[in-house]
Amino acid sequence: MSDASTTRNDRAFLCREAIAEMMGPIILGAEIVQRYAELGDEAGIHYQLKCMAAYFRSAGAAYRELAAVRNEALADESEGA
């Protein structure tokens, strides 16, 4: 395995790990939003949705990086073929 593919595999692993880590607060946030909704706490709903949106944006950025890593691997494979 070349250094480039090892680095690429490491980057892909870190991206997947980041995505997984971002999902935890989103899942918990969804439960909190449900509770705020049941209590009629609109300010709480708003705040929690803003927090969840930030985590979701971070997960999206990590996914875009993961897609870029995958595209690099595909480009390298096609050049070597």
pLDDT, one tens digit per residue, over 11-61 is 999 999 999 999 999 999 999 999 999 999 999 999 999 999 999 999 999
Global pTM reads 0.80
Quick one: tokens of 57?
A: 């944006």
> What is the pLDDT at residue 77?
81
Angle at the Cα of 74 (from 69 to 76), degrees rounded to 5? 95
How far apart CA 71 and CA 61 sit, in angstroms, is 15
Averaged pLDDT, 49-76: 95
Q: Which of 58, 76, 80 is nearest to 4 (CA)?
A: 76
